Amino acid sequence: MSEPLRIAIATAGRFHVLDLARELLALGHHVDFYSYVPVRRAEAFGLPRAAQRSLVPVVGPLAAWEHYRPGLAPVSREWLTHRGLDLALRLRLRPCDLLIAMSGVYVEALRLARRRYGAQVWVERASQHILAQDAVLAATPGARRPTRSAIARELAGYALADRIAVPSTTVAESFAIDPAAEAKLFRNPFGVRLEDFPQAVAPPGPAYRLLFVGTWSLRKGCDLLAQAVFPDDGIEVIHVGPPGDCPFPAGHGSFRHVDKVDQRDLVGFYHSADALILPSREEGLSFVQVQALAAGLPILCSDRTGGADLRHTPALAERITVFPNGSSDQLRAAILCARDRHRAGHRVGPLPDQDRATLSWTAYARRYVAEIRRSLDRSR
């Protein structure tokens, strides 16, 4: 059996790396998780207190600023938060073989981990290459673009990293504009806690029920969705999540809004829908797609959501419909085709256990460890 690894994971909020930390611990590795996530909240997601290294003493006021006054000087807050987190990690970092850090947040801490401990440094980039992402958002009037500071820190992290972990092919393809960074990529689709999203199939209803989960935004193609559904289509679209930079079609009889709910409360919405819809213009790999599939729900997604990378098995592939991004006509065609198949009785049954297991965070962590071992072996 290989020796356990000493792995440091640095983030700001929870993100997917808390799940990675929990699973790496379960696989027998030594993990230090650095964040400003409250200890009890991290424990609620299965991460033991002993593995948590709080950065709150340094960045607590900045985290409170973000939580309670998000609209107050957001550019300045982002600049201060990233530098505060970077400093806090340098002050607290313990010896490690590998530091995994969220891209764009930590820069100087990566240098310190390599210099002081001889550690490999990996960055996690969940979305497209920052320059490709900025180009997409720049071409979308009204969309919120990354700040110049965020772009600079992202590029610095790519240059420093030994490896760059990305969740999907669409993210990997966006790195073609940066060959040096592209050569460092490790693609590993996200997972889900299967016990939080048990399977169930919605009973037939009078309307074909589409579920959209997330911020109602231009980036996620919500304007296209509003254009693609007509009042007499026999389709109901339920939005669960906060408002964003795209107007919600409140007067449209086919659309219904529900305020943001806790992640674990989403399962009821998955069980009452007929399909998940995600027409994003730019995305890495949306977690709601993995959750929906685990809960037994088919998904309709654009080719910029990472959904295609969840076709781990033939049974999963038949539940995933991918359409070209950016066109309300093609989005409408995909929706109507799915509606008509559903009306004709073509509905999926329960996902077999072996197929469902490929969606788990455990499977994700095992793929991660195998790549870590290969990378460390090559560097020796």
Return the CATH number at 275: 3.40.50.2000
Supply the pLDDT for residue 68. 76
Question: How far is the C-alpha of 91 from the C-alpha of 85, rounded, in Å?
Answer: 10
Averaged pLDDT for residues 369-376 = 93
Supply the pLDDT for residue 188. 96
Q: Are residues 57 and 152 in the same domain?
A: yes
Statement: residue 143 has pLDDT above 80 = no
Supply the pLDDT for residue 82. 87
Q: Are residues 313 and 217 in the same domain?
A: yes
272 inside domain: yes
1 inside domain: no
What's the maximum distance between 2 C-alpha atoms anywhere in the chain? 65
Q: Which of 72-76, 278-282, 298-302 has the lowest mean pLDDT?
A: 72-76
Q: Are residues 163 and 91 in the same domain?
A: yes
Averaged pLDDT for residues 92-120 = 96
Supply the pLDDT for residue 144. 81
Q: Are residues 15 and 163 in the same domain?
A: yes
343 inside domain: yes
Averaged pLDDT for residues 286-292 = 95
Q: Which of 47, 358, 309 is nearest to 191 (CA)?
A: 358
Averaged pLDDT for residues 248-267 = 90
Q: How high is the mean pLDDT of the chain?
A: 92
- Judge whether 289 and 322 are in contact, CB under 8 Å: no
∠ Cα 39 41 43 (to 5°) = 70
Domain of residue 289 covers 194-357
Supply the pLDDT for residue 190. 96
Supply the pLDDT for residue 376. 87
- Residue 217's pLDDT band (cuts 50, 70, 90): very high
Averaged pLDDT for residues 360-371 = 96
Q: Are residues 110 and 41 in the same domain?
A: yes
Number of domains within the chain: 2
Residue 73 CB: number of other CB atoms within 10 A? Answer: 11
Q: Which amino acid is at 252?
A: H
